[in-house]
Amino acid sequence: MDRLIVKAEDDGGEAAAFSNAVAISAPATTGRLPVLATTFVVDGGHGGLVTARLAATAHGIYDARLDGQRVTDSVLNPGWDSYERRLQFQMFDVLSLLRGTEDDAPKLRRHRLEVTLAGGWWHGNLGFSGMNANYGDELALVAELTLIYSDGYVEVHGSGPDWTATLSKITSASLYNGQSEDRRLTPGDPMAVHVAQFDREALVAESGVPISRHEVFRPIKIWRSPSGKTLVDFGQDLVGWIKLIIPASTPAGTTITLRHAEVLERGELGTRPLRAARATDKITVGGGEQTVFEPVFTYHGFRYAQVDGWPGEIGASNLEAVAVYANMPQTGSFECSQQLVNQLIHNSLWSQKGNFLAVPTDCPQRDERLGWTGDIAAYAPTACFQFDVSGFLNNWLMDLQAETVNGASGYVPYVVPDVFRRATADHSEVLQTGPVAVWGDAAVWVPQALWNAYGDKSQLARQYPGMVAHLRSVERVLSQTGLWDTGFQFGDWLDPDAPPDDPAAAKADAGVVATACLYRSAVFTAKAAEIIGNAHEAEHWRSLAARVRAAFLEHYVDVDGTVRSDCATVYALAIHFGLLDGAVKGRPADEVRSAAGDRLSRIVKNHGYRVSTGFAGTSYVTWALSETGHIDDAYRLLLEEDCPSWLYPPRMGATTIWERWDSLLPNGEINPGEMTSFNHYALGSIADWIYQVVLGIRAASPGYQQVLIRPTPGPGIHWAKGSYDSPHGRITVAWDAGDDQPFHLDVTIPDDISAIIILPDGGQHRVVGGQHLY
């Protein structure tokens, strides 16, 4: 059904959507999911229906049906927010489900609305290492059906004590552990519901992006493992579930079990990276008819599945993998002469799909799946090129702002929504005592990426308080030197030279990383304040940026361009963030910057062009190389295939971005570290450089009102082509720089959009719209 867009000011505000409804819950049961239901009558005596809309939300996730038909194609509603402060409700147009189809339809038509509830993120025992973080113990539904007839008569059917509850055939449902059903069960006698506690002040009209089913994958191989298990390969690491079609001949009471994993190890399902997540679905057949099993109250990250209990031999027509992610149109494309680079881009796209469900998560498969702020801080520019994420990320930033501005600590949490403070046990490893660089900088860097991609001033204004809250929290902890060298830092997390059991043991000095990040955030926050008309605060943030850069140059940079800790990450940040655009002890800035670029080049070469950066530096090392005249080094770094490198995972058969460069070791064994995910988008942030530098599509002004086309060929890639669907239309670029051949460029710009085209030889052309050949 069509989803209705509701704004806060419509119908008197958010809470007005439920003026005749209260939250209801079913009696406590032994685990079976409750179905809350009501019947109502459509009275043809008032003429035909002209409007029928259902508003709904829940503590938990819900599936609503009218007369057995789903009211929406979206799933896992209402999604996940910082529930204490923001709980989105959805509005659905259900008119087509209620209209009579016959001219002689009875005047009074009886209908039934049923809503199944599951724990979802509300009561999902979220977290890892036994955190069991929950928002509440009781599931609840708020729903309201509004009917408007042609004579003007209005009926409102809201959830309340007159509803009833029955038990579904779903015996358990957990995001981490999976879903189980027993089709032999009956709903039992209707039970009375009770009014549940519900904070109406937290209700907000939906601003996020619905989650839906997308691609469907059939098995590419079904076989027996060395231990005799039936294994299935769907060919793509995806996020979603497996839909089973079980023949009618299957005996009643047959239980079929599906176990999911991303990789194989020694010929068997590799489940160790899942940690405590069981990722297992079960269906017990009722018998007598074909059974279709689709577990819509859970999701898994997987490429492979193990099928137990299937009677006889399972065939490819009996199962399909359904990819589930937010409804975000793909906007970017890229292809080049290097197939492993193409696979890298493919992997980045699929890691974004798999981790963009309700919030931007770190991983989608193990007992975690949290909105880690550091991951999206690094990846946001890539995310904005690949898909239209304006609504998705803006909604998440509203949660970040709620957790920061209205939270008890006043600084950006490690994860948003912040479930760590709801852990049932002491977890000192995630006890946050202050602001943290990169992770906290998501409050600024994600809005910066959105501003560059979409140029939405009103959206930037809504995000600005979160930016300010982050900087204020950092200002309070700066040392007397003006550096951010105090408190705990993740630093250059997952430095490839760090031991597997100590991912924070990076080469980069944590104070250098944090101070560089603060400078970048202060610079953009000053710009944002200016854009939204806050000149006074803009001056404050410009002053902070100037003080931070001066302190950075004084304490961290030598006159010869050496940056403290002398590793690739510190040079990448200092160069790309503009910290070296100032004299050092009397030496001109351009000389210092050039020397730092030369030193970065030598470090990259000395590492054999294998990656030596972690979370903080990986997004920016190729940028810093290309910006200081070392484009050949940047290409060689990109194209290296030995581990650690961007192309090692594709060479090993990866179809998504890995958490560790060596999540799968060269011998095919899974990395022994506890944190070993095969779907973690952060290290795929190199794609931003590929799109902007290799392909050459850049925004010359926010929202691509003006375009810069500047392809930069380098050794190892002979041609490239791609496109970006900007807010003003599609931009396409194709270039060819084959051996001993002149450079050719084909560019198409949307009508009435101006562009600057800079050729590799330095030639510049100003054009407006249309196709341009060089």
Question: Does the active-site annotation cover 659?
Answer: yes
Contact 506, 496 (CB under 8 A): no
Consecutive H or E run containing 216:
strand 211-217
90 neighbors 12 (Cβ within 8 angstroms): no
| Per-residue tokens: 427 | 């977890």
Which pair of structure tokens corresponds to residue 194?
A: 């009770």
Q: How far is CA 445 from CA 288, 517, 531, in A?
A: 57, 10, 16
User: Per the structure block, which two tokens stand in for 234?
Assistant: 């769907």
Contact by Cβ (8 Å): 76, 357: yes
| Residue among 328, 408, 418, 323 nearest 370 (CA) | 418
- 262 part of the active site: no
Q: What share of the chain is helix, strand, coil (3-state, %, to 5)?
A: 30, 30, 45
β-pair partners for 454: none
Contact 387, 329 (CB under 8 A): yes
The Cα 178–Cα 257 span in angstroms is: 10
Distance of CA 632 to the CA centre of its chain: 32
Question: Which burial class, exposed, middle or buried, applies to 154 when counting CB atoms under 10 A from its CB (0-12, 13-18, 19+)?
Answer: exposed
> Pick from 758, 766, 755: which is nearest to 706 by CA?
755
Q: How far is CA 708 from CA 172, 451, 492, 693, 721, in A?
A: 53, 16, 31, 11, 16
Give the number of C-alpha atoms closer than 13 A to the C-alpha of residue 349, restricted to the C-beta side.
21
Q: Which of 206, 368, 403, 627 is catalytic?
A: 368
**Cβ-based neighbours of 667, under 8 Å, separated by 6 or more:** none
Instruction: Just list the catalytic residues.
Output: 368, 659
